């Protein structure tokens, strides 16, 4: 028997009818607003070249670490899922076989946001109406594969169908942004912009730090193993990124530490990191200094600064050695902001030109540090629930823990932060639904009036994203 697959119009809303009816009215107001995606990791090449996606597995499974980390946790090898090795030799897994494994294990995702995102894509993008499992795997593969060859499923067509107003990708300062240039040159109306992500040239513990510095030297014509040139090159690249549409920078550090050190000290530190063995405390101090420096540059050039701290990258040594970065093996750590950000805030915390958006993987900070900080410092705003917390309960915890102390207007709306292009509408829909559900609860409990909730729903779904990211 095949089970029917449908998306219920009230999904995620309270089953209390009084509250649900309020949520429905709020959602009706925001469900069709354009999508603004100010922070994410889609590939600009897709929109530059506008070629068909290769097959269902390459489109839906292989770029989505949420999917293969779950399958891996249950004993399925990354090889079997066709995840490419660092030094791939021999044949990759057959995409139809990969799809079959995924389908047979789809029940593992019950209760996770991936379950919703994927079912949303199956129904709304591909028009499928039966559930995915081992028996329907082939049926799914066929339908999706066939559609991918049609014009309506080319990247730009989907971008338009999804009603995306702006989509930001993320690039390293060493990137020449050729695909963004190609999009501009093509005359296509879709707005795909970049964001400046300098981690690899700031973090001396990054596996390609020196390689990237050399690349930065080439691209800038400066000697980037020399500290003043290095700083100058970063400043120039920011200008270039801004010219290419960037409105923000992004910083994925292990901690939220910042440091106010002298140029002399910074210079010596940089020399040690570029000309000797990297010591962990040197690397941390240099990253802390560079957050400080980046805030300084943001004050000058107006780029909105984002800090995404607290992730222990590449935690699984074996997976990193075989498959490289970003393979679902990054793991959260306890993170501290009140002390870590103090040096930066001492200097720039009251400067009206600074816009600093904070994220966390350590939810204990919502009510303890982030809410109180954003509810005081004029430069600070709170980014949405991030990564592992980009989920119904995660979003609910975020609003419950931050609203009472920082209000709604110290938050910046939603980021999808995804490599999985097709999941973008599903993710924004989930966020809008959860905000409507939370607002409906406030109305149902008589804490705010419905007209206030309607304004807030629009602000959270659209207006705050535009204004916070200067879009």
Of the candidates 399, 453, 404, the one whose C-alpha atom is nearest the C-alpha of residue 21 is 453
Residues 25-84 that bind a copy of itself (CB under 8 A): 69-70, 72-75
Q: Does residue 376 bind a copy of itself (CB under 8 A)?
A: yes
Q: Does residue 129 bind a copy of itself (CB under 8 A)?
A: no
| CA distance readout (Å), 450 to 36, 42, 278, 438, 447 | 25, 37, 57, 12, 10
Residues 265-324 that bind a copy of itself (CB under 8 A): 312, 315-319
Torsion sign across C-alpha atoms 251, 288, 310, 85: positive
Q: Contact at 8 Å (CB) between 112 and 70?
A: yes
What minimum distance in Å lies between the beta carbon of 404 and a copy of itself? 4
Kindly tell me which residue out of 150, 350, 353, 470 binds a copy of itself, with binding defined by CB under 8 A.
350
Kindly tell me which residue out of 183, 401, 465, 471 binds a copy of itself, with binding defined by CB under 8 A.
401
Q: Does residue 408 bind a copy of itself (CB under 8 A)?
A: yes
Stretch that binds a copy of itself, among 50-58, 280-288, 301-309, 406-414 (CB under 8 A): 406-414
Q: Does residue 333 bind a copy of itself (CB under 8 A)?
A: yes
What minimum distance in Å lies between the beta carbon of 168 and a copy of itself? 25
Instruction: For 345-399, give the secondary structure using H, E and C.
Output: HHHHCCCCCCCEEECCCCCHHHHHHHHHHHCCCCCEEECCCCHHHCCHHHHHHHH
Kindly tell me which residue out of 377, 458, 466, 467 binds a copy of itself, with binding defined by CB under 8 A.
377
What minimum distance in Å lies between the beta carbon of 110 and a copy of itself? 5
Strand partners of residue 251: 307
E strand map for 121-243: 164-168, 192-193
Stretch that binds a copy of itself, among 213-221, 230-238, 241-249, 333-341 (CB under 8 A): 333-341
Residue identified by tokens 């090159």 is 233
Smaller CB distance to a copy of itself: residue 57 or 360? 360
Torsion sign across C-alpha atoms 394, 384, 438, 65: negative
Tell me the C-alpha distance between 402 and 408, whole Å. 8
Residue 247, SS3? coil
Cβ atoms within 10 A of the Cβ of 467, count? 15
Strands 311-312 and 164-168: unpaired
Kindly tell me which residue out of 145, 248, 403, 461 binds a copy of itself, with binding defined by CB under 8 A.
403
Q: Does residue 391 bind a copy of itself (CB under 8 A)?
A: yes
Q: Does residue 205 bind a copy of itself (CB under 8 A)?
A: no
Q: Does residue 470 bind a copy of itself (CB under 8 A)?
A: no
Residues 3-22 that bind a copy of itself (CB under 8 A): 3, 8, 10-16, 18-19
Residues 423-462 that bind a copy of itself (CB under 8 A): 441-442, 444-449, 451-452, 455-456
What minimum distance in Å lies between the beta carbon of 461 and a copy of itself? 16
């Amino acid at each position: 028997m095949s089970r029917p697959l449908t998306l219920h119009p009230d999904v995620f809303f309270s089953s209390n009818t009084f509250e649900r009816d309020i949520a429905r009215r709020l959602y009706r107001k925001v469900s069709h607003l354009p999508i603004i995606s100010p922070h994410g990791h889609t590939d600009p090449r897709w929109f530059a070249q506008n070629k068909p996606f290769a097959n269902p597995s390459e489109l839906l499974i292989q770029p989505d670490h949420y999917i293969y980390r779950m399958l891996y946790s249950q004993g399925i090898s990354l090889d079997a899922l066709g995840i490419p090795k660092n030094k791939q030799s021999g044949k990759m897994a057959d995409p139809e076989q990969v799809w079959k494994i995924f389908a047979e294990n789809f029940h593992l995702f019950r209760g996770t946001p991936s379950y919703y995102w994927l079912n949303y894509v199956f129904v709304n993008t591909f028009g499928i109406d039966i559930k995915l499992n081992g028996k329907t795997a082939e049926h799914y593969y066929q339908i999706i594969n066939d559609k991918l060859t049609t014009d309506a499923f080319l990247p730009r067509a989907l971008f338009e169908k999804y009603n995306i107003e702006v989509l930001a990708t993320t690039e390293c300062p060493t990137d020449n942004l050729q695909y963004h240039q190609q999009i501009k040159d093509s005359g296509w109306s879709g707005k795909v912009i970049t964001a400046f992500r300098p981690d690899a040239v700031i973090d001396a513990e990054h596996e390609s730090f020196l390689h990237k510095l050399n690349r930065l030297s080439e691209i800038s014509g400066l000697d980037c193993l020399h500290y003043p040139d290095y700083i100058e090159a970063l400043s120039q690249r920011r200008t270039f990124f801004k010219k290419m549409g960037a409105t923000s920078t992004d910083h994925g550090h292990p901690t939220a530490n910042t440091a106010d050190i002298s140029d002399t000290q910074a210079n010596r530190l940089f020399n040690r990191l570029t000309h000797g063995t990297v010591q962990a405390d040197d690397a941390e101090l240099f990253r802390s200094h560079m957050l400080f420096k980046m805030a300084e540059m943001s004050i000058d050039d107006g780029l909105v600064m984002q800090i995404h701290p607290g992730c222990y990258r590449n935690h699984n040594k074996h997976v990193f050695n075989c498959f490289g970065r970003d393979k679902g093996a990054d793991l959260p750590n306890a993170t501290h902001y009140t002390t870590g950000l103090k040096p930066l805030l001492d200097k720039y915390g009251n400067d009206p030109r600074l816009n600093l958006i904070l994220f966390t993987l350590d939810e204990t900070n919502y009510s303890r540090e982030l809410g109180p900080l954003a509810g005081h410092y004029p430069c600070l705003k709170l980014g949405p629930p991030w990564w592992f917390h980009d989920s119904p309960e995660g979003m609910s915890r975020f609003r419950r823990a931050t609203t009472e102390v920082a209000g709604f207007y110290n938050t910046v709306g939603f980021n999808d932060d995804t490599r999985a292009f097709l999941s973008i509408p599903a993710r924004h829909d989930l966020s809008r639904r959860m905000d409507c559900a939370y607002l409906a609860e406030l109305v149902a409990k008589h804490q705010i009036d419905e007209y206030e909730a309607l304004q807030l729903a629009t602000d959270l779904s659209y207006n705050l994203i535009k204004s916070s990211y200067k879009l």
